[in-house]
Chain A
Amino acid sequence: MNLHISRNRILTLIALVAFFLLLAYASSNFSPYVLRIMNLSAIYVIFAVTFNLIYGYTGQFSLGHAGFAAVGAYVAALLTMSPDQKVANFFLQPIVPLLANVQLPFLAALVIAGLMTAIFSFVAGWPSFRLRGDYLAIATLGLSEIIRVLLINLQSVTNGALGLKGIPGYTNLFWSWGFAVVTIFVVKRLVDSSYGRALMALRDDDVAAEALGVSLLYHKMLALMLSSFFVGIGGGLLANLISTIDPSVFLFFLSYQIVGITVMGGMASLTGSVVAACLYTVFLELLRPIESPFSIGSLDVPGMPGMRMVLFSALLLLVILFSHRGLFGGREFGWDWILDGFDALRKRLKGSKERTGADSDSEEAS
């Protein structure tokens, strides 16, 4: 095996180690409030990066993403909850015997959640991903709605509209950011490979791609299943973070959030997705106070619940209208950019120092 250790790889490794040391420090020292934001950021990073794989790189506008996250959330929750917790939850109608006594460690539950979501996405995607453009969007939207209705109605499996409460809170920074890093790694590796080129060809011109031997359905399913696997895990992480799932609310906001974050971060830019997901989560929390009554000086402002989402949707609209490529549209930022940036900065600083001495000379020369 050709061990190609480049400067960039070493830097990435160092950064990762430093990052996880930071997480370890944070776990023991930051307040639960901050920890929750950090965990949520990781989960939204997973959602955004996986959506970007399907939409930004493969060009499939699939609105079923939130539905898949919900599937993963339920699977993971039902696998991590203890039999007692299940009995307590399923008071309207007892849970199906198959699930009643199952309780698995977190990692197993997450992986199974991911696998089941991937399989589910395949079954749902195989017929529907033959559609293109708006038709695909609407079909997947319908799919997401079907999932929602099923979740609300399958009382003995999902506890219906009552949702699930008391899901063990296993998610911590290592789980959430660990999987986030893995997701980013896998997606980036795929995108930078020949398969990634095939996906982007499919996105740019599927007729031409097919004429060059790229099997459209195979590659769409590849992107979909890979993306769904991690979305399912993301859903599971979310369930074990906020400890409750309310099916009616869960899906609705999540669909818009995922699309909004990914579009704002920039299509086909993993950097954009990561940055946008983190910014979104942070700002969502920072702006929470405006939804309760507060005062500016002597002015009393009544609370406006829902205002944060208004700002989010308004921002999304502005981004689409004026900067539809998003923050980082199509560009990635890596070590090269950062180091080149430092070099350029250094040169500028050096240059200005020299120029102050040579100013009078150049003025005379011109």
Chain B
Amino acid sequence: MSLLQLRHLTKRFDGLTAVDNFSAEVDSGELCALIGPNGAGKTTIFNLITGIYEPSEGHVYFEGKDITAKRPDIIAGLGVARTFQNIRLFEGMDVLGNVLVGRHLRLKADPFSAILRLPNYSREERTMREEAMELLESLELSHLAHEDATSLPYGEQRKLEIARALAVKPKLLLLDEPAAGMNPAEREELMAFVVHILDTFELTIFLIEHQMQVVMGICPRIIVIDYGETIAEGPPDAIQNNPRVIEAYLGVGDYA
């Protein structure tokens, strides 16, 4: 059974149909890409999965359970984490702090235990910190642990956002245009980073990208959408030569 199932998802905004009868499945352990020209509805689909939007029609199933329109924090608790197109880090905190927020949802101690620093809370806090540092180390970010999150260079910020999402210990990781705003060298490094975490952690990764060449060599399966509906699906070579895909991208500038 697939980890994530999207069935007939439709989202209308006052007359504009952003997502039109979109169905897809992502299997456990996959690295799958959702691509399409700008405005195709990719981020809207992510927002539908994570509960930020309620679909006009259709359902979202995660691990067989219907999670349609549940609250985002509940969905995160079920094992779905995401990053955002425009990096949303917590500016008031350092790198470690940002990652630690990702661990908060698993905290069992109540606020009073936290205020009184009871043993159960202190133990959990210690564990959270250890796990967070381990995570940063495995991603080669631990040397930045006490830097201001927003003082980092763009590429590191992106990695931090991904690290923070990983702190949730998700089963499914949604990456929204992780390579946005990067030059080709940075893009390559980031995509290598994405492949690295796929191998290192027990993960399924579903990522959005609007530039084809970024995902060509990396993602075994690609779904292409335009105007809110699927126009192609399959391995990179099939997609590359698909006339509908080429038509969708014509005039949009760079494509593979």
Contacts and interface: CB of A to CB of B under 8 A. Distances in A.
Contact of B97 (A2, A186, A197, A214): A197
Contacts of B72: 207, 210-211
A268 B92 contact: yes
Interface stretch (B33-41, B55-63, B115-123, B181-189): B115-123
B76 A193 contact: no
B93 interface: yes
Given A201-B101, A204-B93, A208-B90, A213 B76 contact: yes
B88 A208 contact: yes
B125 interface: yes
Contacts, number: 102
A197 B73 contact: no
**Counting chain B CB atoms within 10 Å of each CB, which of A1, A209, A222 scores highest?**
A209
B128 A194 contact: yes
B92 A212 contact: no
Nearest to B82: A211
Contacts of B91: 204
A284 interface: no
Given A197-B101, A197-B104, A190 B76 contact: no
B55 to A, nearest CB: 18
Contacts of B167: 212
Contacts of A330: 92
Contacts of A209: 90, 101
A290 interface: no
B93 A210 contact: no
A216 B102 CA distance: 14
A189 B116 contact: yes
A190 B111 contact: yes
B114 A201 contact: no
Contacts of B88: 205, 207-208
Given A190-B115, A193-B115, A197-B104, A213 B93 contact: no
A197 B115 contact: no
User: Which applies to chain A's interface (DSSP): helix, strand, loop or mixed?
Assistant: helix
B246 to A, nearest CB: 34
A203 interface: yes
Contacts of A40: none
A241 interface: no
Interface residues of A, number: 29
Nearest to A216: B73
Contacts of A189: 114-117
A200 interface: yes
B90 A201 contact: yes
A211 B79 CA distance: 11
B86 to A, nearest CB: 11
A210 B71 contact: yes
B90 A2 contact: no
A222 B81 CA distance: 24
A212 B93 CA distance: 15
Given A193-B121, A200-B90, A210 B104 contact: no
Contacts of B234: none
Nearest to A204: B90
A210 B73 contact: yes
Interface of A: 1-2, 186, 189-190, 193-195, 197-198, 200-201, 203-205, 207-216, 222, 226, 268, 330
11 contacts: A189-B114, A198-B104, A201-B90, A204-B89, A208-B89, A209-B90, A211-B76, A211-B82, A215-B71, A215-B73, A222-B111
